[in-house]
Amino acid sequence: KRQTILKPKMDAFFDWLREQDPLSGSKLGEAIQYALTYESTFRTVLKDAKLALDNNRAERAIKPFVMGRKNWLFSATYEGATAAAIIMSIIETAKQNNLVPEKYITYLLEELPNLPTLTNEEDWKAYLPWRSHVKERCQERTLPKPRNKK
């Protein structure tokens, strides 16, 4: 679909950009120059179907940080701000790995204190959100749909 539908549209768009003659130094001129400079980068979506056509996922991931940015300026201590950043990172990483953040944090708080130390890299790597046993425990469990009785 990308080759048959998107490629002709991209070709037409970049051809149109090359025909434009905006005022030098104008915002429109800068935008056109930017698009033409990175044309090959924009076209990578035509080569790999796994690539997203937009940056919506990244925008949604940073939204909580943008919303809280001004509030965090008033953290009482450096340690408090650091703790908030760590917690937000854990929550957002859990979300990106399709985990329920509350379940993942509960899991970490229940399991990590049982480790002899967190200095052994292999010990704490077992608790990363992309590990299969972590996913099994921390993903949303859906109930089976009830059967229709006739």
CA-based Rg of the chain, rounded to a whole angstrom? Answer: 24
Longest dimension (CA), the chain: 73
Residue pair 39/14 in contact by the 8 Å Cβ criterion? yes
State whether residue 25 is helix, strand or coil.
Answer: coil
Per-residue pLDDT tens over the stretch 70-95: 667 777 888 888 888 888 889 989 99
pLDDT-derived band at 47 (thresholds 50, 70, 90) equals very high
Q: Which residue blocks in 20-96 are alpha helix, DSSP H?
A: 27-37, 39-42, 56-72, 78-96
Please state, rounded to an integer, the average pLDDT across all residues of the chain: 87
- In whole angstroms, what separates CA 119 from the centre of its chain? 28
Domains in the chain: boundaries = 2-46, 56-138
Of all residues in the chain, what percent carry a pLDDT higher than 90? 51
